[in-house]
A and B are shown apart, each in its own frame.
Chain A
Amino acid sequence: MADPIYVLQSIATGLLLGGVYGLTALGLSIIFGVMNIVNFAQGDFMMLAMYATFFLYTLFGVFPLVSLLIVIPLFFVMGIGVQKFIINRVIDKPPMTHLLITLGLSIVLQNVALAIFKADPRSVITPLATTAISLGPLYLNQAHVVAFISALIMTFIVSMFLNRTYFGKAIRATADDREAAMLMGINIDRVYLVTFGLGIALVSGAGVLVSLYYPISPAVAWDFIVLMFVAVVLGGLGSVKGALVGGIIVGLVQSVSTIWLTIDLRNIAVFAAFVIILLLKPSGLFGVKRE
């Protein structure tokens, strides 16, 4: 049996990583919940945000947490642009076209990044990544702690926006029933623009945080997009709580599995857990309707 301190340590690390996974999945989940679109390019926007963080830090010395203030608005606008000029063209077409257009976008973004930045990985090296906070017998990586806390704050702000503001309510009304929302005088086009912008802004924020401790490469999206999918399928697409809980499960399983498995195989544990949960509880953790 593994050393209990080590087990506790992995649980703590898993929790910290999981909170950030929750944020990476949140944008995907909101876009799906409101627009019924699975955005395959979500991970690629995250990759772009990671490069933005890298260059802001290395070229201009902007500390990653400060660059949140630059990256998030920038990607919000980018998301609105993508919605307006690309997604909107197929919004009334069958779901397959949404999948394919975002898949095409993902392929384009990833390979544009490959052409410009080349394949070699880069890292944002801040003092945070190499220092640890001790908490009793546990050592927590500072980069993980900072990313976790920032992710929770951002998740909380989004939750407040959706629940407490007028526009947030309009977004939720559209998610519940598009036609009824339209009849109530909600401008659906604008809701879609803001939703997509918000979804991309959120994943870009997650990208900034992830780059505190994860190497950046053009294909980094594929390390995350599937984990995002797992998190939202477990937690239920379209729910803030679901994305967070799903993300934390992914983080915990990944981290705790390294007690028995080598680090390369940790995602096998995630997928295995995913399969087992599907087997035991096909309706998902919160019993949401899966249509």
Chain B
Amino acid sequence: MKISFAETIAKDRFLILVIILLIIPYVISHPWFLRIATLTFMWAVLALSWNILGGFAGQISFGHAAFFGLGAYTSTLLFLYYNISPWVGLFVGAGVATLASLFIGYLTFRLRGHYFALSMLAFPLILLLIFSYHPLEWYELRFPFLGDAPLYFQFASRHSYYQISLMLLAITVYVVRMLDRSRIALYWRAIKENEDAAGSLGVNTFKYKMIALMISAFIAGALGTFYVQYVLTLDPHIAFGLHVSVNAVVMPIVGGLGTIWGPILGAALLVPLGEITTALWGGSLPGLHMIIYGIIVMIVIAMIPEGLYPRIRKVVSFR
């Protein structure tokens, strides 16, 4: 049976969503909306990248900020020292993050389960300390404001950042979807279910875990550059702070571990929640927005341990 092009598009719910999201800013162009949406797309990309390792391959990691931060710092330093465009830095940064992931994975994949998760936590912290006390004073870097310089990743309109982050999300979703349908996803699933059994059946578990980590690190590294360009400032806590690693873990699990829609849903719930509560109480009552975040995470996970997306699937069965 031949499927026409139009039908393929109609069947691709994600593509429809992207098209709608591309149109929305022409209707609602409030800067606050653009900000929340841009950040949601961004964190969704980070959540999706974490989900490759944590959701598909079953290796829960608390160190995702290491890759995000390395990407952010690489492109920033390349620009500030060598005037290299962040567009190039984005790829170099992703490459550096991937190289780091080879080293980190080599060390930590010897460990399993909780031991792996906890060991990964050490790496962003090492980097946080190194960058905080670096003799060249890297603890607070500011990007010069260039105005409208698309070649240097700066745009006059906030709308452009919205579009770029949406494109990053779209690319990530298609990469993840491709991975999910590939043979490698079967190996990952086998490792996730039972690593020893997978190994005894001839699956090179180390190799496939490493591949998951490298892809995961590459995407997180690339995203680091986007985030710096969006906020135009960088310090070790923005790059390697715990909130980066925590969000990367929490969003996919709240949304639905190992699914494609889950991490996106997790980001779409928690990012606007965080932004709204910060805007309401961030100045007057320090801590309140984080208390709400923590309570929501606890309630969702206690009531819907499998995550939002699988539960929605169960309740509303699509067609």
Assuming the contacts A96-B253, A268-B129, asked whether A279 and B297 have C-beta atoms less than 8 A apart, the reply is no
Given the known inter-chain contacts A111-B290, A279-B107, A290-B111, please indicate yes or no for A233 contacting B119, CB distance below 8 A.
yes
Q: Among residues 162 to 207 in chain A, which have CB atoms less than 8 Å away from a CB atom of chain B?
A: none
Question: Per a CB cutoff under 8 Å, which of B60, B115, B118, B290 touches A107?
Answer: B290
Proximity bits, B103-116, A CB within 8 Å = 1, else 0: 00001101111110
Q: Is B250 an interface residue (CB 8 A)?
A: yes
Rounded to whole Å, the gap between the CB of A48 and the closest CB of chain B is 14
Size category of the binding interface on chain B: 35 or more
Interface residue ranges of A266-291 to B (CB < 8 Å): 267-268, 271-272, 274-275, 278-279, 282, 290-291
CA distance A4 to B293 in the complex (A): 51
Given contacts A101-B301, A104-B297, contact A115 B118 (CB under 8 A): no
- Which residues, 33 to 57 on B, are CB-close (under 8 Å) to A? none
Q: Say yes or no: is A66 at the interface (Cβ < 8 Å to chain B).
A: no
Measured CB to CB, the nearest residue on chain B to A262 is B133
Is there contact, CB below 8 Å, between B291 and A278? no
Find out whether the CB atom of A226 lies under 8 angstroms from the CB atom of B122: yes
- Could you say which residues of chain B place their CB within 8 Å of the CB of A108? 290-291, 294-295, 298
Say how far A50's CB is from chain B's closest CB, in angstroms: 17
Q: Which of B87-131 contact A (CB under 8 A)?
A: 107-108, 110-115, 117-119, 121-123, 125-126, 129-130
Q: Is B305 part of the contact surface with A, judged by Cβ < 8 Å?
A: yes
> Among the listed stretches B180-188, B225-233, B280-288, B311-319, which one makes contact with chain A, having 4 or more residues with CB under 8 Å of it?
B280-288
Name A31-66 residues within 8 Å CB distance of B: 32, 36, 38
B112 to chain A, nearest CB (A): 5
Q: A90 contacts the other chain (Cβ, under 8 Å)?
A: yes
Q: Report whether B302 and A101 are in contact in the complex, using a CB–CB cutoff of 8 Å.
A: yes
Q: Do A97 and B301 touch across chains, with their CB atoms under 8 A apart?
A: yes
Alpha-carbon distance A194/B214, docked complex (angstroms)? 42
| C-alpha spacing A265/B129, complex, angstroms | 7
Of all chain B residues, the one with the shortest Cβ separation from A41 is B294
A265 to B297, CA, bound (A): 33
Chain A nearest CB, measured from B160 CB (Å):
33
For residue B246, CB closer than 8 A to chain A, the reply is yes
Task: Give the residues in chain B near A222, CB-CB below 8 Å.
Answer: 242
Nearest CB in chain A: distance from B237 CB, A: 11
Residues of the A chain whose Cβ atoms lie less than 8 Å from the Cβ of B242? 222
Tier of interface size on chain A:
35 or more
- Residue contact A111 to B287, C-beta cutoff 8 Å: yes
Q: Which of B262-290 contact A (CB under 8 A)?
A: 285-288, 290
- CB-CB under 8 A from B130, the residues of chain A are 268
Among A96, A115, A233, A267, the residue within 8 A (CB) of B291 is: A115
Q: Does B254 contact A (CB under 8 A)?
A: yes
Chain B residues, CB < 8 A from A153: none
Question: Which residues on the B side are within 8 Å of A93 (C-beta)?
Answer: 305
B289 → chain A, closest Cβ, in Å? 8
- B117 proximity list for chain A (CB < 8 A): 38, 99
With a cutoff of 8 Å between Cβ atoms, the chain A residues found around residue B118 in the complex are 38, 229, 232-233
Q: Is B257 an interface residue (CB 8 A)?
A: yes
A231: min CB distance to chain B, Å? 11
Neighbouring A residues of B291 by C-beta, 8 Å: 107-108, 111-112, 115
List the A side residues contacting B297 at CB < 8 Å. 100, 103-104, 107
Q: How far is the CA of A107 from the CA of B290 in the complex (A)?
A: 7
Q: How far is the CB of A126 from chain B (nearest CB, A)?
A: 29
- Asked if B129 and A267 make an inter-chain contact with CB atoms under 8 angstroms apart, the answer reads yes
A278 near B110: Cβ-Cβ < 8 Å: yes
Nearest neighbor of B107 in chain A, beta-carbon distance = A278
In the assembled complex, the CB of A287 is this many whole angstroms from the nearest CB of chain B, namely 13
Q: Whole-angstrom distance between the alpha carbons of A152 and B159 in the complex?
A: 60
Which residues of chain B are near A115, meaning CB under 8 Å?
285-288, 291
Q: A290 to B286, Cβ gap below 8 A?
A: no
Residues in chain A near residue B114, CB distance under 8 A: 32, 36, 38, 95, 237
Note all chain B residues with C-beta closer than 8 A to A107. 246, 290-291, 293-294, 297
Which chain B residue lies CB-closest to A276?
B107
**Given A103-B246, A104-B298, A271-B126, CB of A112 within 8 Å of CB of B287:** yes
Q: How far is the CB of A289 from chain B (nearest CB, A)?
A: 9
A-facing residues in B214-253 (Cβ within 8 Å): 242, 246, 249-250, 253
When distances are taken between beta carbons in the complex, the residues of chain B under 8 Å from A97 are 253, 301-302, 305
21 residue pairs A–B, Cβ–Cβ below 8 Å: A86-B302, A95-B113, A96-B253, A97-B302, A99-B60, A101-B301, A101-B302, A103-B249, A107-B290, A108-B291, A108-B298, A111-B290, A115-B288, A119-B286, A226-B121, A229-B122, A233-B118, A265-B129, A265-B133, A271-B125, A278-B108
Knowing that A96-B253, A100-B250, A103-B249 touch, tell me 4 more A-B residue pairs with CB under 8 angstroms.
A96-B60, A104-B295, A265-B133, A271-B126
